[in-house]
């Protein structure tokens, strides 16, 4: 079993605290429903890459606007993290949009389409091979 390094523990705690802070304390009306998916902290704790997802429609413009709001609030969030976490140095925050959820949904849809197409083709092949079957596969 792998031991978690200090940076892993800091990243996990940072992501958890940031999720709460963004939800409760960032009062910008341009900010949508943001979910903090994960954070990666540099070995020297100088910066943290924070990966977010958005609920709802995610146009490029909406993603840019939400990232801009978070970048603008980064100083405030970093200050609040300093009050919450027991760290000598709170990492600089860099926000990134995580599109893996969208890509996962797209891949799932493609798989569903392929499975449905395979079933349809199998049924057509079975119907062509046995002309005595009706459209429901019964004789």
The domain limits of the chain are 6-98, 99-139
| Predicted pLDDT of residue 132 | 66
| Predicted pLDDT of residue 3 | 59
Tens-digit pLDDT string for the chain (139 aa): 555 688 899 999 999 999 999 999 999 998 989 999 999 999 999 999 999 999 887 788 999 999 999 999 999 999 999 998 888 889 999 999 998 777 777 788 889 889 888 888 888 888 877 766 555 555 5
Q: Which two tokens stand for residue 22?
A: 């963004």
Find the length of the chain.
139
What CATH number labels 6-98? Answer: 3.30.300.20
| Predicted pLDDT of residue 13 | 94
| Predicted pLDDT of residue 96 | 96
């Amino acid at each position: 079993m792998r031991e978690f390094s200090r940076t892993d523990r800091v990243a996990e705690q940072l992501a958890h605290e940031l999720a709460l802070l963004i939800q409760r304390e960032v009062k910008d009306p341009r900010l949508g429903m943001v979910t903090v998916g994960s954070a990666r902290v540099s070995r020297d704790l100088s910066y943290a890459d924070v990966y977010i997802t958005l609920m709802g429609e995610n146009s490029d413009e909406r993603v840019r606007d939400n990232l801009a709001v978070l970048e603008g609030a980064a100083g405030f969030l970093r200050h609040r993290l300093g009050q919450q976490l027991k760290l000598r140095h709170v990492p600089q925050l860099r926000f990134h949009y995580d599109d893996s959820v969208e890509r996962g949904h797209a891949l799932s849809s493609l798989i569903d389409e392929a499975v449905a197409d395979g079933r349809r083709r199998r049924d057509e092949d079975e119907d062509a091979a046995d002309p005595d079957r009706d459209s429901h596969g019964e004789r």
